[in-house]
């Protein structure tokens, strides 16, 4: 029984080791910009969830718009081209990123009305962009 568990653990490891996601070749400085943005994304997403859980719906909307929404687009515009992630992404990958910004803004708009239930129903559209991009693309 123990051995069976070990074998299935090893098999699961093999499946994970085989990364079938599409490689997006971003220059190293662009990867670095993206990584910094991503770490912040996860922190902001968690803050938005905390605000929603506390019933602070409008505050969650304001944070979503400024940190993840369309207002947060173009952060890297003033950087040299090789440090800007967007222009080096395959168009479909870039599109998922745009969808994520739009989903955050759509959530923010509804959250601004204070309608908690409707705002919650829009949150999975936002996380779907995170999941969709990570499931389809890698940078290394
Ligand atoms: C358009 C594609 C795309 C979208 C959308 C996206 N990510 Fe990422 N994310 C990436 C890529 C590519 C990396 C790997 C960056 C690297 O290290 O080169 C990454 C890495 C990360 C990491 C790991 C950072 C580290 O510690 O190295 C976190 C956390 C993360 N993303 C969170 C999020 C969250 C949360 C969202 C949604 C709000 C999101 N991402 C949306 C493409 C995306």
Joined tokens for residue 66: 């400024």
Distance, CA of 139 to CA of 27 (rounded, Å): 9
What is the per-residue pLDDT for 17?
74
Q: What is the pLDDT of residues 31-41, one digit of tens each?
A: 999 999 999 99
Q: For the chain, give me the number of helices (H) and strands (E)?
A: 5, 2
Hey, where are the domains in the chain?
21-138
Is the backbone of residue 55 left (phi > 0), alpha (psi -120 to 50) or beta? left
Q: What is the pLDDT of residues 73-122, one digit of tens each?
A: 999 999 999 999 999 999 999 999 999 999 999 999 999 999 999 999 99
| Residue nearest ligand 1's atom 7 by CA | 130
Is the minimum distance from the CB of 129 to ligand 1 under 6 angstroms?
A: yes
Q: Which residue's CA is minimally distant from atom 10 of ligand 1?
A: 134
Which class is domain 21-138?
A: mainly alpha
Ligand 1 atom showing the smallest separation from residue 24 Cα: 12
Give the model confidence (pLDDT) of 107-116 as tens digits: 999 999 999 9
pTM for the structure as a whole: 0.89
Confidence class for position 18, pLDDT limits 50, 70, 90: confident
What separation in angstroms does the CA of 32 have from each of 37, 57, 84, 113, 129? 9, 32, 9, 37, 20
């Amino acid at each position: 029984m123990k051995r069976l568990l070990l074998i299935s653990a090893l098999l699961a490891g093999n499946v994970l080791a085989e990364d079938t996601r599409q490689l997006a070749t971003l220059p190293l400085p662009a990867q670095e910009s993206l990584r910094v943005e991503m770490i912040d994304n996860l922190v902001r997403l968690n803050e938005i969830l905390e605000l929603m859980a506390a019933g602070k719906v409008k505050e969650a909307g304001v944070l979503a718009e400024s940190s993840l929404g369309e207002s947060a687009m173009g952060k890297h515009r003033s950087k040299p081209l090789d440090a800007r992630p967007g222009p080096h992404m395959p168009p479909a990958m870039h599109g998922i990123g745009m969808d994520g910004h739009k989903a955050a803004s759509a959530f923010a708009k509804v959250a601004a009305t204070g309608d908690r239930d409707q705002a919650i129903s829009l949150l999975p559209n936002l996380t779907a962009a995170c999941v969709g991009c990570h499931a389809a693309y890698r940078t290394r």
